[in-house]
A = this chain, B = another copy of it.
Amino acid sequence: MAGDGSDQRALQYEQTLMYGRYTQELGVYAKEEAARLRESGQRRSVSDRSRTLDLLEYDKGRCAKCRICTVRCQKFLISRVGEDWIFLILLGLLMALVSWVVDFCIAICLQAQKWMYGGLDSNVFLQYLAWVTYPVVLITFSAGFTQILAPQAVGSGIPEMKTILRGVVLKEYLTFKTFVAKVIGLTCALGSGMPLGKEGPFVHIASLCAALLSKFMSLFGGIYENESRNIEMLAAACAVGVGCCFAAPIGGVLFSIEVTSTFFAVRNYWRGFFAATFSAFIFRVLAVWNKDEETITALFKTRFRLDFPFDLQELPAFAVIGIASGFGGALFVYLNRLIVQFIRKQKAINRFLMKKRLLYPALVTLLVSTLTFPPGFGQFMAGKLTQKESLVTLLDNRTWAKQGIAEEFDYIGHSQAWKHPQVNVFVTLVLFIVMKFWMSALATTIPVPCGAFMPVFVIGAAFGRLVGESMAAWFPDGIHTDGTIYPIVPGGYAVVGAAALSGAVTHTVSTAVIVFELTGQISHILPVMIAVILANAVAQSLQPSLYDSIIRIKKLPYLPELGWGHHEKYNIRVEDIMVRDVRYITLNCCYRDLHNVLLTGHLKTLALVESAESMILLGSIERAQLQSLLSQQLGRPRRLEYIRERAVAEKKRLSVVSNPCSEDGTHRTSQEVRFQISTEESTFSPARPVPQKPLKPALKRPSVVERPTEIPTSPHDNSGIALKNLFCASPDTEGLEDDGDVEDDMTIREIAEWEEMQLDEQVNFNNCKIDPAPFQLVERTSLHKTHTIFSLLGLDHAYVTSIGRLIGVVSLKELRKAIEGSVTVKGVKVRPPLASFRDSGTSSSENEATELHKLWDRHKSMSLPREHTPSESDEKSQ
């Protein structure tokens, strides 16, 4: 909604003339427009033709005709089906290849570890060394590689994608470097056999692919520059990421929607489906071509009986799995966050770990792999199985603990790992669940590209299996009473548990669909749905989702969801939460006002009102625009012009003036001192830059504070340009003043006087970009509606007006605070599970209010507020 204000004003007269054109001759206009479009189309086809001719010239060999044919085909496809299809097909193909190659490499890595471990069976110590060293090396390499190449690649990527899809520009998150770091880092991390997942990173990788592909295809022209289209494509890419990771197109689309969007445009639906299906298809076809499979089937195919999948009386057991998974999921999120915060808080540990940056990953890996060492403790928790193998065995449709029946279950293949000569299979399962639980929570805090979905999925499956085996032991002949015996299928319970726990951790319902697609069976749909919904209900009332938790830890800009059944939200109105002390500038203000406003406020944009009396809102101006206005007014070129004019005036008077007292040397010093003077006179101290920090791209970089704050250059983020840069003569400004015929002969005092004079001039907004229609709310708008509008339109702030008069402003911060009182200004307050049942949400509002109070006091005292203290920036998070 941004438009060039002055241009529009200039166009006004022309538009009045063109009045008739739009109302009475719309038809003519439409025709003209169509003709224009046709013409441009023809022009394009002409250029296409010339391109084919070029090709002929260039390549007179056999394949020239073939090429022309291809080009024609491409042209036809583009004109008929649009360029989106081609883009989506390419994206799907690319991601399927990436997914397959990554899987292939991971499989090789894991095989190598097994081979090493197996080959050294003569000596347990050597075995242990091999077992432990291998993952430590891989993880350390992964962490180091990622750290060096692109620290943005660390972690899951879903939280960042959620933020990006909300409209926030996270720099460096969608670059080629990040892509390489993420793919290689992920392969190494997963190849180590640690309990890490592939899903989250794949969402990020797919988005990277989409962004790079967009950039690549924009070389050929077309629509690839359009920003809103790119956002749509990113949403589709997220679906592709999940889809090609699990060969689950439907679940992928749904999961990506649930995880990344607040509002979803149904018109983008087909994009996700199309790309994800194509990707999943290619992914599975590659497996067939590689002779891994005979035909395309599910990734973790199950073979439960179809005629009687479960009895109605088993439903309570499924519900129990759901509820327990809900608590478990909340605990997992809590545990994960606790670990991050513990490491961050312990200054001593922190400092040590930060110095030796790769020590933490190595230590964690050492701990985890020591505990899973098969001849050691690993024998009690099926430690020698890889994640994939564990899942396959857990989803097995045979019962492991069939008591009372003579035939001993023959643990064939990998299932042997679950059977220990001395220990019951139940103990093995319990140990597996408990150990894997904290291991996964710990492992996902390692700064390598990794997700948490798959580990949680496996733990859930194990938990389900445990319940299933217990049920099977309890009812050896099944529950069904009439006639036929239908024994209980513990594998079905494993499916339910996997869906429920992963659903609870991610706060999604679509894990149910993913489970069906992964197993290739939908017979357990009702138990799965019931368990997933119950798990979600419990988990959502206790903790944020894992991704939201990470968003908070990383302090990404976000808007919390309105919770389930908190109906007071409907009664809170904008007037209750808005900030009434709006920073504004008037249409006829002078540069001094501008200066003052810029120094006191901290919002990205400032309201432009007609006058302080009428307060009629005319638009909003970006901070950077005002800063450049001010710098233009006070800049050197203008001053030189002033000097020139003065000189001309002097010459006219023909009076003799004394020689300029300042030479080149003094000139330079005057330039350096000038700034201080001007600020001393205006009683501010703008030597410190405005604290609008760019979104930290390197959350895991510990030394981010020691280095000077980077000045972002993207148009979206340039509000952080420090005042200092603008006031001091920067190299850019220096470059502009090439008309060096006038010498800067002003004294410091003169400059100060001149600046004072300049500051009293009225601002000329002509060359200033004004957003003429910032979003407006009314005092009576409910919080619920405000939330909807903010998340729908991805707003950062909205003005509250009353019949055109500006009366307040609501920004994301106020909204966030109004929705959840629990998050303080400084970082995340870790809330233990069940906390929401204890406090009623008001206990922490005091804390936050004093925080706000302080902030306002700081504003009042005209010092520049710094929202984040340096000690917080060296955060290390998942």
Residues of A within 8 A of B (CB): 1-5, 8-9, 12, 15, 19, 22-31, 33-34, 37-38, 81-85, 222-223, 226, 228-229, 249-250, 254, 257-258, 261-267, 269-270, 273-274, 277, 280-281, 284-285, 288, 294-298, 301, 303, 306-312, 480, 509, 512-513, 516-517, 520-523, 525-526, 529-530, 533, 536-537, 541, 561-562, 564-568, 570, 572, 575-576, 578-581, 608, 610, 616-619, 770-773, 776-782, 784-785, 788-789, 792-793, 801-804, 807, 821, 840-842, 845-846, 848-850, 852-853, 856
Contact = CB atoms under 8 A, between A and B. Distances in A.
A33 B576 contact: yes
Given A23-B579, A267-B262, A512 B30 contact: no
A258 B794 CA distance: 22
Contact of A778 (B2, B30, B312): B2
Contacts of A530: 277, 281
Contacts of A303: 306
Interface centre among A267, A537, A803, A849 (most CB of B within 10 A): A803
Contacts of A274: 533
Contact of A804 (B312, B617, B788, B853): B617
A325 B296 CA distance: 23
A581 B229 CA distance: 32
Given A266-B263, A267-B561, A779-B8, A526 B296 contact: yes
Given A3-B779, A22-B580, 5 more contacts: A8-B779, A30-B845, A263-B792, A297-B308, A522-B522
A853 B24 CA distance: 5
Interface centre among A84, A228, A802, A846 (most CB of B within 10 A): A802
B522 A803 contact: no
Contact of A845 (B31, B222, B564): B31
A512 B312 contact: no
B777 A25 contact: no
Contacts of A520: 306, 522-523, 525
Contact of A265 (B270, B788, B802): B788
A308 B30 CA distance: 56
A802 B3 contact: yes
A536 B804 contact: no
B1 A777 contact: yes
A263 B264 contact: yes
B849 A27 contact: yes
A580 B265 CA distance: 30
A265 B265 contact: no
Contacts of A264: 263-266
B266 A262 contact: yes
Given A263-B265, A567-B223, A845-B30, A801 B773 contact: yes
A793 B25 CA distance: 30
Nearest to A859: B23
A810 to B, nearest CB: 11
Given A84-B564, A616-B616, A793 B789 contact: yes
Contacts of A807: 12, 15
Contact of A83 (B226, B567, B802, B804): B567
